[in-house]
Amino acid sequence: MPLLLLLGVRAHIAMVRRHGLKGDAGRGDPQARWWPGQAARDAVAALISVAVVTWMARRWGAPLDAPADPASHFPAVPTWFFSPLSQLLRYFPGPRQVIGTMIIPGALTTFLALLPWIDRSESRWRRALVLSPLLLAGLGAVALGVQQRRGLAKPAFVRSLREAQHTAWRARRLARAGIPPEGPLEMVRNDPAVRPGELFAQHCGPCHAVRGLSQQRKAPRLDGFGSREWATAFVVWPDHPELMGTTEIHDMSGQRRRLRDEGVRAVAEWLYSRGYEPGESAPDAALVAAGETIYRRRCTTCHQGEGDTSETEAADRDAPNLDAWGSRAYLRAQMLNPGARENYGERNHMPRFHDRMNERDLTMVVDFMRSLRTRPAPAVMEQPAEPHALT
């Protein structure tokens, strides 16, 4: 292309030399006129343009978006000067596309190419008439451009544009720490700031609800999972529609009636302490001890783990082992094999993830689950006196 352009310029100069410039500047010897007056004017104009472009480049720079991801819903928009063309295309969908891409622009270009033969009159009015299609095309282009820019103000578009800008911002921030050998796309896809949430939405979202990621209600809501509040809600009303209500396991209902308010507080504190990590709100030691006593006496008739088995034979204790409830190890075990005997056993309805995620993804989801501990748990108040109707 540059070579063709150079040839074109060379041909143009040859023509100017031969025929002279049209208008006042062209009278007389073309070479004498070109040098030095016209050359100086050209040089000044070129210098100004280079200076303006340099200043703009320094001031705004070239935008750097996120690496192109074929799997994303990137809201592709043409640059402003292409808006009229892209808007024109919208009026010619499918097989009629050629009208917008070739025929109309082609007709305009042909008209421009033919101008020297069409526009020969000296009369101003006739010239204006001949040039009027250009004016119309210009107005049409402006109208199309405005129309396209208007379409960009739609909320759905603005939202996806913001998302794209946010991804771009993250990509630039991540790139500062160096781009991994797998490439920039992998870098963005493994961003520790969002990847865990994406993995959760993808693997767990089809069943578990979590605010902002999934609204499904096929399994307990996991906002606040591992916290005192979640444990309390579960003991108070395990079959609430936000908890086990949507599953087929309902052995927990009725536990609340065997405990006083203080007892509920104590077992919830004990459960919370099972997954406690330094840096979190410290469990109350006295409450934990009281909770542990209650749990070992009342709950281990069903729940596996250490405990008094006087009421039931060990073989009948088929409820999950909660001795490490909410800890990373517990979460890993639940994801790797929820149907294991110490988890949900034969009644399990959750898939195993041992072959669906690699080690890194698994750790990310565990991290994400841990981050849910500080979110508000489902607001489950006391169960109504009439037992919650289950069908």
Dist. CA 281–CA 228, nearest whole Å: 10
Q: Which is nearer to ligand HEC, 187 or 271 (CB)?
A: 271
Residue 367 phi/psi, 5-degree rounding, is -60, -45
Name residues whose C-beta falls within 8 Å of residue 349's C-beta, 6 or more positions apart in sequence.
219, 247, 248, 249
In 3D space, the residue among 270, 306, 275 whose CA is nearest the CA of residue 289 turns out to be 270
Q: Which is nearer to ligand HEC, 144 or 231 (CB)?
A: 231
Pick from 244, 288, 290, 380 the residue near ligand HEC by CB under 6 A.
Answer: 244
Pick from 218, 260, 352, 360 the residue near ligand HEC by CB under 6 A.
Answer: 218
66 part of the interface to ligand HEC, by CB under 6 A: no
**Which stretch in 93-101, 125-133, 161-169, 201-209 sits in contact with ligand HEC by CB under 6 A?**
201-209
How many residues at the interface with ligand HEC, by CB under 6 A?
43
Dist. CA 246–CA 213, nearest whole Å: 19
348 part of the interface to ligand HEC, by CB under 6 A: yes
Tokens of 261: 């308010």
End-to-end Cα, the chain, rounded Å: 74
CB of residue 91 vs ligand HEC: minimum separation in angstroms?
45
Tokens of 107: 């007709």
Three-state SS for 210?
A: strand
Q: Which is nearer to ligand HEC, 65 or 316 (CB)?
A: 316
Q: Which is nearer to ligand HEC, 160 or 246 (CB)?
A: 246
Pick from 150, 154, 166, 250 the residue near ligand HEC by CB under 6 A.
Answer: 250
201 part of the interface to ligand HEC, by CB under 6 A: no
In 3D space, the residue among 171, 199, 202 whose CA is nearest the CA of residue 187 turns out to be 171
335 part of the interface to ligand HEC, by CB under 6 A: yes
Q: What are the b/e assignments for 360-384, b being 16+ CB within 10 Å?
A: ebbebbbbbbbebbebebbebeebe
Tokens of 368: 């994400």
| Residue 226 near residue 372, CB atoms below 8 Å | yes
Q: Which is nearer to ligand HEC, 171 or 350 (CB)?
A: 350
**Which stretch in 59-67, 138-146, 231-239, 282-290 sits in contact with ligand HEC by CB under 6 A?**
231-239
Name residues whose C-beta falls within 8 Å of residue 207's C-beta, 6 or more positions apart in sequence.
216, 218, 219, 350
236 part of the interface to ligand HEC, by CB under 6 A: no
Q: Which is nearer to ligand HEC, 36 or 206 (CB)?
A: 206
210 part of the interface to ligand HEC, by CB under 6 A: no
204 part of the interface to ligand HEC, by CB under 6 A: yes
Q: Which residues within the stretch 291-320 sit at the binding site for ligand HEC (CB under 6 A)?
A: 295, 298-299, 301-303, 319-320
| Residue 198 near residue 341, CB atoms below 8 Å | no
CB of residue 233 vs ligand HEC: minimum separation in angstroms?
10
CB of residue 58 vs ligand HEC: minimum separation in angstroms?
48
CB of residue 384 vs ligand HEC: minimum separation in angstroms?
18
Query: Which amino acid does the sequence have at 253?
Result: S
Q: Is the dihedral of CA 193, 199, 201, 205 positive or negative?
A: negative
Dist. CA 330–CA 324, nearest whole Å: 6
208 part of the interface to ligand HEC, by CB under 6 A: yes
Please give the DSSP secondary-structure letter assigned to residue 101: I
**For binding to ligand HEC (CB under 6 A), which residues are involved?**
203-204, 206-208, 218-220, 231, 234-235, 238, 244, 247, 249-252, 255, 259, 267, 271, 295, 298-299, 301-303, 319-320, 322, 331, 334-335, 338, 344, 348-351, 353, 365, 369
